[in-house]
């Protein structure tokens, strides 16, 4: 049989297990030009929460009663498509199914010799690309500048911080536990970190850790941490709005301090970043990230949850910060 | 004698006449290398409100008991400086005094043959430069795009809108009276306008006037009008944060909807702009603006208040929107 995870109902606020349902389907048969894929690793990501809303966004919303999809590493089990051979591994936006059919469109072959399969969902996948391209296009790091990264122990944040170090920046990370702060310093080479959960005055804590002010902020969380950063930015600061996980589960439009006055006073820039708008830059970016990986300049971390049926829980755990690095389900 | 306007006390909230005081001084005598200047036209500008606060900003704050300064057009009355001749006109950051001494530093000679003297405080001065350079560096207008300008009948806004038309954009202005809306359409060639004071739902009004969405927003006001614009922006929109007059008189940090979610969803950019950071671009910008002015492609409007002693009231009137175009005091 073939387990499939569907969106059972749209979440109100924080998603719950009951919003998902596992159903059993028949294992499909590939037709002419098609391949049969078996999912090996499934990426669960905060942005999927947005697709669970019934509203226009940059990717179409999921439909109630239909399967969720996300980035998946799959093995070609059988192939009627000359471009793919049995036993090859591919990545692509695939459904949360144990087995599925593809005509090959949108699949990328991946090389297990270059890096482990799961790296292609993280440091060499969308999360690594998100960190690299956003810093390249918006951050424009200069040696000696101070980079602050929120969600610093996460898949994007940990790569962003390491790229900061490679570029000669002082890098301070923000994360939600002392364990994560220890990890970003010991494993990823950050110069310092702030546990926002145990810090009452983030503005002051940032001022202390960033005595020369903040030049670039890689923001994965939005909300009050962004506000605190804004009160410490330097002239010509660049704020990369890459994620706003603190807002994703809110039903009402959240309010906060108006930032336009600070932007003017500091001649600062805030820019939203979606990696999907930069597909043409993926090739060179993967090459650079792959080179750093081989040189040992780039490390990565992943949290691997075993069992296809645990995919919804792994997704929910993202919002409790239970992952360190890329959250992946091993099917 | 020599009238001088000093900051008598720091305003709390909206400035009042009592925050200023006119004192009498002796007319100064120029020393070696110095010139005696007589003020002809004084520029009053919203940003001066910020300098009345006792806080670090991009320009040092005014001191209580000392003269205000702003851009002034002055005539050289007598000169001990070989670079300046009696009867020449100059512009510069000068004090609110009828007569003052300068060593020539920071003074720019201006050519009355090219354009009327007051144009050098407006369309060929900092306001025209602010409109031109911000659109050039941040707005990056493309033909066929929709540009929205707030404070559209103001000195910066009216030039920004006309530059939009010169670049082939559809231009919608926001201003605070039907008279101003008529003016931006009839005199400055805007395609349409919205009187925000008589409009209850700005989000809807903008959606109606900008049926293809908003690509570039030239923001002189901040606050709720910015919020309404943000709900109508297109992918890759550019928001120029040039002014936030709606916030300047607030004592508390104003709050509003958090914008980081929209910035991400739309891959949009917000960037603060201070013309003082672009001094090296002034020359080419004045040439371009001067050419458009001569070609009749650029019109400007000014509100001239007569009498040196009326300078504080002219400044206060800015916050009631009593000016159309550049607010200038004729000494």
Among A151-155, A298-302, B231-235, B240-244, which range has the highest average pLDDT?
B231-235
Say what the pLDDT of residue A111 is. 85
The predicted pLDDT at position B286 comes to: 87
A269 contact residues in B (CB cutoff 8 A): 269-272
- Residue A19: CB atoms within 10 Å: 18
Residue ranges, comma separated, of all CATH 3.90.180.10 domains in chain A are 2-121+301-330
Report ipTM (2 d.p.): 0.80
* pLDDT over 80 at B246, yes or no: no
Tens of pLDDT, residue by residue over B270-298, are 999 999 899 889 888 988 998 999 899 99
Does A23 reach chain B within 8 Å, measured CB to CB? no
Alpha carbon of A133: minimum distance to chain B alpha carbons (Å): 13
Q: Which of B242, B261, B266 sits opposite A222 (nearest CB)?
A: B261
Portions of chain B given CATH number 3.40.50.720: 126-276
Using the predicted structure, report yes or no on whether residue B325 has a pLDDT greater than 90.
no
At residue B327, the pLDDT reads 94
Residue A245 has pLDDT above 90, yes or no: no
Residue B125, chain A, CB below 8 Å: the answer is no
Q: Which CATH superfamily is domain A2-121+301-330 in?
A: Medium-chain alcohol dehydrogenases, catalytic domain (3.90.180.10)
pLDDT digits (tens, 9 = 90+) for B66-86: 999 999 999 999 999 999 999
- What residues contact B272, with CB distance under 8 A and at least 6 apart? A260, A262, A263, A264, A265, A266, A267, A268, A269, B241
* A residues 222..261 contacting B (CB < 8 A): 222-223, 226, 235-236, 241-244, 247, 253-261
| Average pLDDT, integer, range B157-181 | 97
pTM score over 0.90? no
CB nearest to A274's CB, from B254, B256, B267 = B267
> Mean of the per-residue pLDDT values for chain B?
94
Interface test with B, best of A219, A272, A275, A277 (most B CBs within 10 A): A272
- Whether A250 has a pLDDT exceeding 80, the answer reads no
CA closest to A264 among chain B residues: B272
Cβ B254–A257 below 8 Å, yes or no? yes
> Residue B171's pLDDT is what?
98
pLDDT at B248 over 80: no
CB-defined contacts A:B, below 8 A: 117
Report which of residues B321 and A278 the model is more confident about: A278
Question: How distant is the Cα of B135 from the closest Cα of chain A, in angstroms?
Answer: 14
Contact A226 B259 (CB under 8 A): no
For residue A313, pLDDT beyond 90: yes
Q: What is the pLDDT of residues A68-126, one digit of tens each?
A: 999 999 999 999 999 999 999 999 999 999 999 999 988 988 888 888 999 999 999 98
> What is the homologous superfamily of the domain B126-276 according to CATH?
NAD(P)-binding Rossmann-like Domain (3.40.50.720)
**Is residue B58's pLDDT more than 70?**
no
Report pLDDT for B108.
Answer: 86
Q: Does the CB of B274 have a partner CB in chain A at under 8 Å?
A: yes
Q: Is there a contact between B244 and A257 if contact means CB atoms under 8 Å apart?
A: no
A168 to chain B, any CB pair closer than 8 A? The answer is no
Instruction: Specify the pLDDT at position A312.
Output: 97
SS (H, E, C) chain B: CEEEEEECCCCCCCCCHHHEEEEEECCCCCCCCCEEEEEEEEECCCCHHHHCCCCCCCCCCCCCCCECEEEEEEEEEEECCCCCCCCCEEEEEEECECEEEECCCCCEECCCCCCCHHHHHCCCCHHHHHHHHHHHHHHCCCCCCEEEEECCCEHHHHHHHHHHHHCCCEEEEEECCHHHHHHHHHCCCCCEEEEHHHCCCHHHHHHHHCCCCEEEEEECCCHHHHHHHHCCEEEEEEEEECCCCCCCCCCCCCEEECCHHHHHHCCCEEEECCHHHHHHHHHHHHHHHHHHHHCCCCCCCEEEEECHHHHHHHHHHHCCCCCCEEEEEEC
Percent of chain B's residues with pLDDT above 70: 98
Q: What is the pLDDT of residue A106?
A: 84
pLDDT of residue A104: 93
Indicate yes or no: CB of A271 within 8 angstroms of CB of B266: no
């Amino acid at each position: 049989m073939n387990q499939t995870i569907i969106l059972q109902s749209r979440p109100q606020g924080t998603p719950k297990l009951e919003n998902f349902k596992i159903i059993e389907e028949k294992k499909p048969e590939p037709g002419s030009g098609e391949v049969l894929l078996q999912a090996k690793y499934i990426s669960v990501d905060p942005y999927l929460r947005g697709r669970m809303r019934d509203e226009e966004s940059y990717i179409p919303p999921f439909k109630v009663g239909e399967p969720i999809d996300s980035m998946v590493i799959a093995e070609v089990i059988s192939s009627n498509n000359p471009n793919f051979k049995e036993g090859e591994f591919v990545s692509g936006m695939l459904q949360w199914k144990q087995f599925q059919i593809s005509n090959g469109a949108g699949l990328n072959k991946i090389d297990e010799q270059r890096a482990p399969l799961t790296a292609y969902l993280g440091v060499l996948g969308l999360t690594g690309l998100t960190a690299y391209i956003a810093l390249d296009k918006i951050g424009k790091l200069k040696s000696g500048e101070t980079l602050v990264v929120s969600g610093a122990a996460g898949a994007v944040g940990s790569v962003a911080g390491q790229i900061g170090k490679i570029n000669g920046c002082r890098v301070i990370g923000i994360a939600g536990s002392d364990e994560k702060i220890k990890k970003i310093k010991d494993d990823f080479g950050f110069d310092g970190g702030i546990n926002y959960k145990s810090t009452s005055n983030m503005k002051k804590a940032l001022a202390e850790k960033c005595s020369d002010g903040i030049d670039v902020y890689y923001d994965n969380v939005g909300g009050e941490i962004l506000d605190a950063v804004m009160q410490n930015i330097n002239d010509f600061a660049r704020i990369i709005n890459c994620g706003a996980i603190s807002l994703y589960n809110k039903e009402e439009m959240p309010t906060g301090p108006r930032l336009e006055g600070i932007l003017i006073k500091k001649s600062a820039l805030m820019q939203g970043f979606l990696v999907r708008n930069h597909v043409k830059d993926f090739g060179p970016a993967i090459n650079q990230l792959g080179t750093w990986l081989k040189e040992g300049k780039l490390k990565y971390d992943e949290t691997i949850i075993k069992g296809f049926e645990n995919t919804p829980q792994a997704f929910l755990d993202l919002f409790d910060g239970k992952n360190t690095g890329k959250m992946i389900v091993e099917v």
